[in-house]
Amino acid sequence: MTQQQQNEFESQTLAAIDIGSNSIRMTIGQLNPDGTFDILERANRPVRLGRDCFRYFRLTPATMRAVVNILREFKRRIDEYQVRYIWTVATSAVREARNADVFLDRILMACGLQVQIIDASQERRITVSAVRAAMNSGPMSIPGGQMMICEVGGGSTTITIMQRGKVISSHSLVLGSIRIQEMFGSEGRSTTQIVELIENEIDSVLATVKTLVPLGRVKTFIAVGGDARFVASRAGQPMDNPQFQRISRQAFEDFVQSHRNQTVDQLALQSELSYSEAETLLPALLIFQSLLRLTRVKEVIVPAVSMRDGLLLELSRRCRGQEDESVAQEAIQSAMALAEKYRVNLHHARRVADCALRLYDEMKSIHGLDLRARLLLEVAALLHECGTFVSTRAYHKHTYYLVANSEIYGLLPKEVAVVAHVARYHRRSAPKISHLEYTALPQESRILVNKLAAILRLAKALDVTNIRRIDRLRCVLDQDSVRIQAPDLSDESLVKRSMEIHSSMFEDVFGLNLELEALPELT
């Protein structure tokens, strides 16, 4: 981006719209030169998409009309602010609706808004990004050790565990305030009975979480969402960072206890909430309470941010062509944790990854790929031997389904699919039309798989003698060939044989012959 483009962008306004399970929310912000935002307007309109989806598994015509009317209103406000960059997303309710495609097309035709359905992993990453930015905006006095960021939405609950600023695990639970409300309803049941049913369902879902996440180690509990902010407005105390409030554990428990037997009408009247807000408040608080009781923390910390703030932050980075370096690092950490789970030799995997990255950087003019593709290559290299956990026989195929069915923090599902295929094709057969999973990929992804897998094969070939000075690897491009100059080859003939076996895919993909040249050892 040129300086003129940078200055033009910094004078622009951005808008984020979140089509959630219980409401549609919009935030419009003015971007400052330092990357911060001045919020110009926030809007929130209730609409019960979750009721349709979680009850009927589809969105009704009446709900679609209501959504279109709200988005038309939002679009008018966006046009008044002359917003140039808009990001509209939909979460679990639309994600699970059987007629989601028709719904999104109707919005596009009626409002001119392109809606992206984001998955649970993206929701978590965007929310964590917003919380991080808020924490970095001022002083934060919190205990050391593990920190849990928890957001209770209408259709799901997300949990992210961090330590020393890095994500160490991330989970999404099919447990949301509206989903639970629709599951049990209120017909013929007292408030006490409904609460008991909700708590039983929460305990059932969290039973699995307790085996996956050692929540007893959590020292800081961060609760994100409108329901948490409501409790903070009534029982919270200010912190040094004005973007946060703290609620003592006892105050949170007392607040939930004082509201647990109230009907929705009573909650709405006494708490000055809309009916739709009051209807989901108690289920959300019961989920927070159950998670809180699995920890030993002394307080709940509530940030004044939402996923929309994270959307604006990421939108600004996208428009500037910037990457969130912390997300890339956490994707690598997540991959290493997955590799460790499947007992991969991490020293070997790291060495192959370093070699692959060196080749990638040396061949920029050949492959024409970007930094994101480089990250996918690194993750694939770290995971390429996961399949040996199942069997050493045809382990590349086992690697594929282990990786394809895993979640790697910071990567989109389509990117995980690319990583799984690159790891699968690091040996034996190249991609074929008969490989159904491969042919199901979009053309762009298939091309990316071929290029990255070809490079990963070369890295594996070069690693047969454990090259000590990967930083001295060089690639010299001639008219119709690539000459790889490798240092300190303890057995040049062995490497050449290995290259002959693994080079055919590279030559087919890039149309260049491969040559190996041994560099003299350093003295």
**Domains of the chain by start residue, with CATH:** 3-117 (3.30.420.40), 121-306 (3.30.420.150), 323-519 (1.10.3210.10)
Residue 355 has what pLDDT? 92
Q: What SS3 state is found at 440?
A: coil
Quote the CA–CA distance of 456 and 423 in Å, as a whole number: 8
Residue from 21, 16, 72 nearest 46 by CA: 21
Q: Report the C-alpha gap between 101 and 417 in whole angstroms.
A: 22
> In 3D, which of 176, 82, 75 has the Cα closest to residue 123?
176
pLDDT along the chain (523 residues), means of 10: 49 90 93 79 93 91 97 97 94 94 97 94 90 87 87 92 86 89 71 86 87 87 95 94 95 94 88 86 94 95 93 83 76 92 94 94 94 96 96 94 92 95 94 93 97 95 70 84 78 74 88 81 50
What integer pLDDT is reported at residue 9 of this predicted model? 47
Taking residue 500's Cβ as centre, other Cβ atoms within 10 Å add up to: 12
The Cα 494–Cα 462 span in angstroms is 9
Residues 6+ apart with CB under 8 A from 339: 346, 349, 382, 383, 385, 386
> What pLDDT, on the 0 to 100 scale, is given for residue 188?
59
Which residue matches tokens 């809309």? 274
Whether 12 contacts 38, CB under 8 Å: no
At 76 the pLDDT is 97
Contact 44, 273 (CB under 8 A): no
Q: How many CB atoms lie within 10 A of CB 62?
A: 9
- Token pair for residue 294? 């699995």
Give the per-residue pLDDT at 44. 94
pLDDT of amino acid 336: 93
Q: Which two tokens stand for residue 275?
A: 């009916």
CA angle 104, 106, 108 (to 5 degrees): 70
Which 8-state DSSP code applies to residue 475? E
Residue type, 454: A
Burial of 439 (0-12, 13-18, 19+ CB in 10 A): exposed
Radius of gyration of the chain from Cα atoms? 26
Nearest to 31 by CA among 61, 60, 55, 7: 7
**Phi–psi pair at 430, nearest 5 degrees:** -75, 170
Q: How far apart are the first and last CA of the chain?
A: 44
Distances (CA, A) of 45 to 18, 20, 177: 11, 10, 17
| CB contact at 8 A, 137 and 241 | yes
Give the length of the chain: 523
Would you state the structure tokens that stand for residue 35, as one six-digit string?
A: 């990357």
